[in-house]
Amino acid sequence: MSEERLTGRQGRSGFDDDAVDASFRPLHANESPPEAAPPIVVGSISKIAAPARRGWMVRLRHRLAHRWLIASPNLRGSVYMLSSLLVYAVMVGAMKHVGAAIPLIEILMIRQIIMSLVIVAIAGPALPMLMRTTRPGLQITRGLITLASMLCGFSAVIHIPLAQATAIGFSQVFFVTIAAVLVLKEKVDSRRWIATVIGFAGVMIMLDPSASGLNIYALASIAGAFFGAGVTVSVRMLAATERTETILLYQGVVLMAVLAAPCWWFWTQPSPEQWFWLVLLSLFGTAGQWLLTRAYQVGEAAALAPLDFSRLILSCFTGFVFFAEIPALTTGIGAAIVIGATLYTIRKNARPALAPSPGP
């Protein structure tokens, strides 16, 4: 609605003078009284306030849309990233709660089915177009790596404290550094290699092998970080040619094909309360997956990675409030070392290469 029309509507009182004069005209003997008109106050408010309210909302929406469009790619990626972390915090808490009674492969299968149904419903007639890909082999490979990352990472989440599983998961940054050399053929200087070694030392402190041997689920968390680095690298490789929805659809096809037989074999019938948590974590997982994938497509990985440390705060809060988990001292010391080494690595990755000085 244009500003001129809004101004015109707001300038009207909801009734005019001729109508008022006619309403006070004397009645003739054979005339019946006119029907009662709606109260002037109600009619006036409904005709004046509604357009003003719509105009305010439209202006606010346009202002926010404009700011979003002119924002830098890294800022938009940061918004996607923070939103995904908040959504994932709910999903991880629900998974830890229901994972004690339902097999993980069943949880992942239900989660993936619901995720795929949501994407298909949103895609509608555009589904055939979204299924087109120029890199089917990389799509399938990414799906398998994603499944491995989920199985390892979520197993750790279910069986060890959330803070420990999250802190160990930060080692993914160091695996990305290694993958950048082996897969992307990037050059990594000696300082970043030293930071990587120090970071892994922090991970070993969190594992605390001298206490009672290596915890298999803590090792699973490291494996999840390793495969998670593969997911990050594959997303960056696909980002130039593939849509977010296409990546998620192929992920769903791969995961459901691989999990179908094991899920049928180990199926455990959920209770109504467990179905609620399964649907909830599936919907939040869908939103989180899309937001995270979109974040890495829009923004630079080096700019987004520091925001990932807020997961540790969310995990400590969720573990303490809902599961009465108190992080161990070794977890805190190791996490501090890992975060420090990771921040250094991110800073080195974000530093642009020196441009050659112009000639005279």
pLDDT in tens, 262-318: 999 999 999 999 999 999 999 998 888 788 878 877 877 666 766 777 777 778 888
3-state secondary structure the chain: CCHHHHHHHHHCCCCCHHHHHHHCCCCCCCCCCCCCCCCHHHHHHHHHHHHHHHHHHHHHHHHHHHHHHHCCHHHHHHHHHHHHHHHHHHHHHHHHHHCCCCCHHHHHHHHHHHHHHHHHHHHHHHHHHHCCCCCHHHHHHHHHHHHHHHHHHHHHHHHCCHHHHHHHHCCHHHHHHHHHHHCCCCCCCHHHHHHHHHHHHHHHHHHCHHHHCCCHHHHHHHHHHHHHHHHHHHHHHHCCCCCHHHHHHHHHHHHHHHHHHHHHHCCCCCCHHHHHHHHHHHHHHHHHHHHHHHHHHHCCHHHHHHHHHHHHHHHHHHHHHHHCCCCCHHHHHHHHHHHHHHHHHHHHHHCCCCCCCCCC
Same domain, 47 and 107: no
Same domain, 106 and 51: no
Cβ-Cβ contacts under 8 Å for 260 (sequence gap 6 or more): 109
Who wins on pLDDT, 36 or 76?
Answer: 76
pLDDT in tens, 91-143: 988 998 999 899 999 999 999 999 889 888 988 888 888 888 888 899 999 99
Tell me: pLDDT of 76 over 70: yes
pTM: 0.68
Same domain, 103 and 53: no
Task: Please indicate, yes or no, if residue 359 is contained in any of the structural domains.
Answer: no
Give yes or no for a contact between 262 and 106, defined as CB atoms under 8 angstroms apart.
Answer: no
Give the pLDDT confidence score for residue 215 in this predicted structure. Answer: 76
Give the pLDDT confidence score for residue 108 in this predicted structure. Answer: 93
Same domain, 135 and 57: no
Task: Please indicate, yes or no, if residue 70 is contained in any of the structural domains.
Answer: no
Same domain, 192 and 44: no
Same domain, 137 and 277: yes
Same domain, 131 and 199: yes
Task: Please indicate, yes or no, if residue 77 is contained in any of the structural domains.
Answer: no
Same domain, 106 and 192: yes
Give the pLDDT confidence score for residue 71 in this predicted structure. Answer: 75
Structural domain that includes position 24:
3-61
Same domain, 237 and 326: yes
Q: Of 22, 45, 61, at which residue does a domain stop?
A: 61
Give yes or no for a contact between 244 and 293, defined as CB atoms under 8 angstroms apart.
Answer: yes
Pick from 255, 66, 237: nearest CA to 154: 255
Question: In a 10 Å sphere around its CB, with 0-12 CB exposed, 13-18 middle and 19+ buried, how is residue 284 labelled?
Answer: buried
Provide the domain count of the chain.
2
The pLDDT of 322-349, averaged and rounded, is 76
Task: Please indicate, yes or no, if residue 357 is contained in any of the structural domains.
Answer: no
List the single range of 34-38, 55-59, 220-224, 315-319 with lowest mean pLDDT: 34-38
Give the pLDDT confidence score for residue 349 in this predicted structure. Answer: 58
Grade residue 211 by pLDDT with cuts at 50, 70 and 90. low
Same domain, 211 and 334: yes
Q: Of 25, 46, 61, at which residue does a domain stop?
A: 61
Same domain, 53 and 119: no
Task: Please indicate, yes or no, if residue 15 is contained in any of the structural domains.
Answer: yes
Same domain, 123 and 192: yes
Return the CA Rg of the chain. Answer: 29
Task: Please indicate, yes or no, if residue 294 is contained in any of the structural domains.
Answer: yes
CA distances from 314 to 90, 91, 100, 321 (A): 10, 12, 21, 11
Grade residue 348 by pLDDT with cuts at 50, 70 and 90. low
